[in-house]
Amino acid sequence: MKKYLGLVTAAVLCMTLAPSVSAHRKVSPQEAMTSAYMEPKPASPIYKFPTRAPSGLLDFSRELHSTSSAPVKAPLKAPDDINLLGYVPSAAGSYYGYIQSVPYRDGSNFSTVSPSMLYNTWGGVEVNGTYYTVYQMAISPTAAYSYLSAYNTTTWISTKLTPLSDFSLFSTALAKDPVTDEVYGCFFSAEMDRYEFGVADFENATRATISEIDPKKPWAGCAIDNSGKLFAVDVSGDLYSVDKSTGATTLVGSTGVTTKYFAGMCYDAKGDRILRAVCNDDNAGLYQVNPATGECQLLADFPDKAQVMGLFIGAPLADDAAPEVPADVKADFPEGSLTGKVSFTVPAVTFGGAAAEGEVDWQVYGYYQVLASGKAGYGETVEADITAPYAGQTTFQITLSNEAGPSPKASVSCFIGKGTPAIPIPYVTYADGVATTALSFKKVLCFRKACYFIAGEV
């Protein structure tokens, strides 16, 4: 099953109706540049020049598959630990998803950071505690609403929604300048008939054009280092340095890596490297790029070939002197009881990896409240008695804290209480092509939730 996301010329209400087009006829990149329309396709390579025509229809969908249900593992500790975050669609081709911590070495995995979904189809960029996204919500095969959204990066609650009347804030690559807080990128023109290098003011939903970008070499990603130097990788995988005042480019070298679908890129000052996500039909992952040579190295493969857009490095997860993430977190609520235990171990080291002495304060949070709290020594195992207010799927979060501040949260999920049987499925028995008068029910073997039940009571 395929999901298509139409992109159309936006009028005052950000909507334009256009004649329907066939989803079956193939269009080559060369033909697409001169044809009267661009058809929906199962894949949406960013190297196809998105000429806007009477229909204005573009498609950046992907084959549907889940990318947000990967198992969560605690990140491994290392001297170069960073809080790498990015937007991951809930399903390929979807216009909503979640901010997740992004794995940047083997052994780490995705974990959801934003408690609620974000709307996004065109990357994303963080500016001074606000994460901006541009997205389109299709209302028909040939029409969609276009919006600029702003989200608080602490709560991930939407703070502003701005309708867009043209395509000038749509982009293939974005980067914030840490010196000036300005956002540079490879944008589409207002009419979506060319690529432009420009600087955007997302707070006021405006953009200025600096120069045009070669339609055969649009950017697949860009990043700006701590000195304000801009780097861009084009769709061929070549790394360039870019003059921000003129848009002139200087070839640094080839990375040897390309991406078929939109993917994020950012600069890691701690490691003096560029971090670049890629997403292809047969692989997806995170690479580090040497900004001096373009040399590229794979850091981690993404499970389920996940698409990661709008990469950025968030605030440190904790102070180096704060406690390490709670370990060995477990929840035990036996035989459908609402009373049970949440257990965990206080690591013997700080978040920075130094040996620790003394005590920490701990809290177990769930059901929108603190359920238990206390003190424990480093290296000690804690069993907290918990009484759940009601049955259901529950997530408990555990934090440790000392005078330096709180640790990152650890969590564990489980079903508490007795579950609800699944709806029985009736069936009719046929003999010689004629239905019998008897109506039977299969034995209930499955339940709506993975939970405790007593078979004799069903």
- The per-residue pLDDT of the chain, averaged, comes to 79
Residue at 252: amino acid letter:
V
Regarding beta strands 434-441 and 426-431, do their DSSP bridges make them parallel or antiparallel, or are they unpaired? antiparallel
The pLDDT tens digits of the residues spanning 195-235 come to 999 999 999 999 999 999 999 999 999 999 999 999 999 99
Q: How far apart are CA 4 and CA 141, in angstroms?
A: 8
Say which residues have a Cβ less than 8 Å from residue 217's Cβ, sequence separation at least 6.
234, 235, 236, 238
Per-residue tokens: 42: 């199962």
Both tokens assigned to 303: 């499970």
The more confident residue out of 383 and 22 is: 383
The pLDDT value recorded for residue 437 is 54
Least confident of 74-83, 100-109, 247-256, 274-283: 74-83
Judge contact between 215 and 195, C-beta under 8 A.
yes
* pLDDT tens digits, one per residue of 387-421: 999 988 888 999 999 999 999 888 888 889 886 66
| CATH match of 84-313 with 2.120.10.80 | yes
Confidence (pLDDT) at 409: 86
* Average pLDDT over every residue of 279-294: 95
pLDDT at 48: 30
CA distance 51 to 37: 8
The pLDDT tens digits of the residues spanning 187-202 come to 999 988 899 999 999 9
Higher per-residue pLDDT: 39 or 283: 283
Q: Output the pLDDT for position 17.
A: 24
Which amino acid, 355?
A
Asked if the model's pLDDT at residue 126 lies above 90, the reply is yes
Q: Do domains 84-313 and 327-416 have the same CATH topology?
A: no
Q: pLDDT value at position 218?
A: 94
Confidence of residue 368 (pLDDT cuts 50, 70, 90): confident
The answer on pLDDT for 439 being more than 60 is: no
Residue ranges of domains in the chain: 84-313, 327-416, 426-457
Q: Say whether pLDDT at 56 is over 90.
A: no
* DSSP label at residue 407: P
- CATH (one of 2.60.40.10, 1.10.1270.20, 3.40.50.970, 1.10.357.10) for 327-416: 2.60.40.10
The neighbouring-strand residues paired with 277 are 286
- Report the C-alpha gap between 35 and 11 in whole angstroms: 22
For residue 363, pLDDT beyond 90: yes
pLDDT for residue 145: 85
